[in-house]
């Protein structure tokens, strides 16, 4: 149990009312452990993103509990939950969501700045993380001057700069070509994953399945207990 | 879902001493604003233009109002006695001579002297004609005399003597010097002094000072000749009694400030000037609000997903509000400063070519424009704040 990073139990989420009501996630339970990369896969509309939002403290479930390192995150108030995300969870969004008017280093430094660290200190640490992702020489460029793969690396550097225990990647290869996507996930596997970190990746890109420790499949809002080998064979 | 007591997570550390509470967030906001140069320029131009128009309009109005009371300001008497029908200092209704005796007999009056103020047509040395304002000062006291730059005040008692005022209209007298001659109603006139006053007149005519009796002698007049009575009370407390007695006699006594207000109110409410200025100021405000509000709204909309991403990462709602308020305040104050500077520059340039250009930037104008800019910033940021608070981080995941 001590190795469990995320524990979701019987979470449900529905949208709308009456006939328009959609049950997006149904009685979903799962655990993700430190030191592993867990993939959540499934077709569009299967509830992956909704589930991901609930386990990362962004979307409140209608029922069920989500515990991260033993903390029931949905019992925290809004400010405490925001602080929790800021310190404990790193996000890599599908479209990166980098600020085009800031330099690459400033983009990476944002979580530390939100943590009220000094500007200079945050930028100094951003340089270190940019070096980790191999973009030290791009620090002063705006993100729009970078390639898609480089922007993805910047987004990863931003996600890990606060040394979060949980890293959430939403469709990390969706905006990238095949080779670049594989390289990015391979990079995450080799350089970002540690024994003290849990990485959850939502994807439907079967070309990167080889980098997962475990794969869970969702269909119609439910967890289908599928392991990695079965998916590899598909 | 069972709810427990909500608490902050114990692993989250308090802000350490070496941390910067809000500076970094504001710096991000600043960079997001100024690095988007097109929108920043559009915002600045909108607010600068609006502030310029608002201050220019109100400054023109303030200048007109100040000049409309130039005679009252320059003469400087504490109390003015006049016909109740007077609306502006320029449109005089002569008073009968007995009013002077009655006013002098009021307890509390230290002294009272007559003043002549009227228009005349001057024939200059080269044969051209120039309209002027003649001010006739009490022969005995010369009360209300201007400060002389050249010449001696005693020379005003010399034959045909006049003192020219060196204001923005002075050049219309062909820049006379001591000894310069002119004709007034076939009378010879001589400049014996050059004086300066604190305020130029509104109607673009030069001013000549002479004695009261010479003014009556040179300028054709109706049966009654006193334009105003200038009264000095023994103490300020006597003013109320003087006003009461004068009113009982069927005339009006006003303090200097009251007379200026009366003249200002006439131009504000009895002419179209005040209404037109108000309309122009409101239009300027609407233009500024439209440009800056729309541009700021577009700016926020374009950054909405980014604000949502910040929320997902862990930014709190109040921090995002602070960013938007800072951006709106920064651009508004910068635009305000540029607008004030531009207005001052334009007025300065205008005065280089038009010495009698009636515009005056007052603290009131600056304050009014500032309040309007604050309103523009408030409305612009309100729209942005509403949008940003409504964006859900979940929307960022959904794409």
Digit-coded pLDDT (tens) for A204-227 = 888 888 899 999 999 998 988 766
CA-CA distance, B76 to A181, in Å (whole number)? 85
Residues of B in contact with A94 (CB under 8 A): 397, 399
pLDDT tens digit sequence for A149-190: 899 889 989 998 988 999 999 888 877 777 778 888 888 898
- SS3 annotation, A127-168: HHHHHHCCCHHHCCCCHHHCCHHHHHHHHHHHHHCCCCCEEE
CA-CA distance, B19 to B131, in Å (whole number)? 72
Comparing A17-21, A97-101, B162-166, the range with the smallest average pLDDT is: A17-21
Contact A65, A90 (CB under 8 A): no
In the prediction, which pLDDT does A233 show? Answer: 53
In the prediction, which pLDDT does B294 show? Answer: 82
- When CB atoms are compared, the residue of B7, B32, B313 closest to A101 is B32
Q: Do B397 and A93 touch (CB under 8 A)?
A: yes
Q: What would the mean pLDDT of A38-59 be, rounded to a whole number?
A: 90
Residues of A in contact with B3 (CB under 8 A): 75
- When CB atoms are compared, the residue of B7, B8, B20 closest to A116 is B20
Q: Do B25 and A113 touch (CB under 8 A)?
A: yes
In the prediction, which pLDDT does B282 show? Answer: 85
Phi, psi angle pair for A40, to nearest 5°: -115, 115
Find the residue in B nearest to A86 (Cα): B314
In the prediction, which pLDDT does B150 show? Answer: 93
Q: Do A76 and B9 touch (CB under 8 A)?
A: yes
The tokens 């328009």 sit on which residue? A20
- When CB atoms are compared, the residue of B8, B15, B396 closest to A116 is B15
- When CB atoms are compared, the residue of B319, B393, B399 closest to A58 is B393
Contact B80, B231 (CB under 8 A): yes
Structure tokens at B348: 């300065």
In the prediction, which pLDDT does B276 show? Answer: 85
Residues of B in contact with A117 (CB under 8 A): 19-20, 24
Q: Do A82 and B314 touch (CB under 8 A)?
A: yes
- Suggest the residue from B313, B322, B389 to mutate for an interface test with chain A (most A CBs closer than 10 A): B313
pLDDT tens digit sequence for A133-150: 888 899 999 999 999 889
Structure tokens at B349: 């340039």
In the prediction, which pLDDT does B109 show? Answer: 94
The tokens 């400087």 sit on which residue? B76
Query: What ipTM was estimated for this complex?
Result: 0.87
Give the list of residues 6+ apart from residue B169 with CB closer than 8 angstroms, or none: B200, B201, B204, B205, B206, B207, B355, B356
Q: Is residue A201 very low, low, confident or very high in pLDDT (cuts 50, 70, 90)? A: very high
In the prediction, which pLDDT does A234 show? Answer: 54
Q: Do B398 and A49 touch (CB under 8 A)?
A: yes
Q: Do B28 and A113 touch (CB under 8 A)?
A: yes
Cβ burial of B320 (10 Å; 0-12, 13-18, 19+) is: buried
Angle formed at CA B40 by CA B37 and CA B44, multiple of 5 degrees: 135
pLDDT tens digit sequence for B354-382: 777 778 899 988 998 899 888 888 888 88
- When CB atoms are compared, the residue of B4, B319, B397 closest to A58 is B397
Find the residue in A nearest to B398 (Cα): A49
Give Rg (Cα) of chain A: 18
**What pTM was computed for the model?**
0.76
Q: Do A97 and B19 touch (CB under 8 A)?
A: no
- Mean pLDDT, chain A, whole residue set: 89
Q: Do B35 and A101 touch (CB under 8 A)?
A: yes
Residues of B in contact with A61 (CB under 8 A): 1
Find the residue in A nearest to B319 (Cα): A114
Q: What percent of chain A has pLDDT over 90?
A: 55
Chain A nearest C-alpha distance from B392 (Å): 8
Contact B295, B43 (CB under 8 A): yes
Interface size between A and B, measured as CB pairs under 8 A:
139
Residues of A in contact with B303 (CB under 8 A): 99
Q: Residue ranges of chain B with pLDDT lower than 50?
A: 1-18
């Amino acid at each position: 149990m001590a190795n469990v990073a995320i524990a979701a139990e019987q979470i449900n989420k529905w949208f709308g009312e009456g006939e328009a009501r959609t049950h997006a996630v149904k009685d979903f339970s799962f655990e993700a452990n430190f030191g592993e990369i867990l993939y959540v896969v499934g077709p569009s509309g299967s509830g992956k993103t909704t589930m991901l939002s609930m386990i990362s403290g962004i979307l409140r479930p209608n029922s069920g509990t989500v515990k991260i390192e033993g903390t029931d995150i949905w019992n925290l108030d809004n400010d405490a939950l925001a602080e929790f995300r800021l310190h404990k969870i790193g996000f890599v969004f599908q479209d990166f969501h980098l600020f085009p008017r800031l330099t690459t280093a400033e983009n990476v430094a944002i979580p530390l700045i939100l943590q009220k660290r000094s500007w200079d200190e945050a930028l100094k640490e951003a340089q270190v993380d940019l070096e980790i992702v191999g973009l030290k020489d791009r620090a002063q460029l705006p993100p729009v001057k970078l390639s898609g793969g480089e922007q993805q690396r910047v987004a990863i550097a931003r996600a890990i700069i606060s040394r979060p225990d949980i890293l959430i990647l939403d469709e990390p290869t969706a905006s990238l070509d095949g080779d670049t996507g594989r390289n990015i996930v391979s990079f995450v596997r080799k350089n970002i994953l540690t024994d003290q970190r849990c990485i959850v990746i939502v994807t439907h890109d079967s070309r990167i399945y080889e980098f997962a420790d475990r794969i869970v499949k969702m269909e119609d809002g439910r967890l289908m207990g599928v392991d990695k080998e079965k998916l590899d064979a598909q | 879902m069972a709810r427990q007591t909500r608490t902050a997570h114990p692993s989250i550390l308090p802000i350490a001493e070496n941390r910067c509470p809000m500076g970094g967030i504001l710096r991000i906001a600043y960079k997001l604003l100024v690095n988007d140069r097109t929108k920043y320029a559009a915002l600045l131009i909108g607010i600068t233009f609006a502030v310029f128009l608002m201050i220019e309009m109100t400054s023109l109005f303030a200048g007109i109002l100040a000049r409309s009371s130039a005679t009252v300001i320059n003469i400087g008497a504490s109390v003015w006695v006049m016909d109740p029908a007077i609306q502006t200092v320029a449109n005089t209704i002569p008073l009968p001579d007995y009013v002077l005796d009655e006013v002098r007999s009021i307890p509390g009056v230290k002294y009272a002297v007559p003043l002549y103020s009227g228009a005349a047509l001057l024939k200059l040395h080269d044969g051209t004609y120039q309209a002027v304002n003649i001010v006739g000062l009490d022969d005995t006291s010369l009360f209300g005399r201007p400060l002389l730059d050249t010449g001696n005040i005693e020379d005003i008692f010399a034959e045909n003597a006049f003192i020219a005022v060196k204001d923005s209209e002075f050049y219309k007298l062909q820049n006379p010097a001591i000894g310069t001659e002119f004709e007034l109603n076939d009378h010879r006139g001589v400049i014996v002094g050059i004086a300066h006053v604190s305020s130029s007149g509104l109607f673009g005519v030069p001013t000549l000072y002479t004695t009261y009796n010479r003014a009556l002698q040179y300028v054709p007049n109706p049966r009654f000749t006193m334009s105003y009575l200038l009264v000095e009370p023994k103490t300020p407390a006597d003013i109320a009694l003087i006003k009461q007695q004068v009113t009982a006699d069927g005339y009006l006594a006003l303090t200097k400030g009251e007379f200026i207000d009366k003249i200002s109110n006439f131009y504000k409410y009895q002419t179209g000037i005040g209404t037109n200025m108000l309309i122009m100021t409101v239009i300027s405000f609407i233009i500024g609000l439209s440009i800056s509000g729309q541009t700021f709204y577009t700016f926020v909309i374009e950054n909405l997903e980014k604000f949502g991403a910040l929320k997902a990462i862990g930014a709190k709602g109040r921090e995002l509000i602070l960013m938007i308020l800072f951006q709106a305040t920064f651009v508004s104050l910068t635009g305000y400063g540029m607008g004030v500077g531009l207005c001052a520059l334009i007025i300065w340039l205008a005065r280089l070519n038009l010495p009698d250009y009636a515009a005056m930037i007052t603290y009131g104008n600056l304050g009014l424009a500032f309040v309007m800019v604050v309103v523009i910033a408030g409305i612009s940021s309100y729209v942005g704040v509403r949008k940003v608070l409504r964006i859900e981080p979940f929307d960022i995941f959904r794409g």
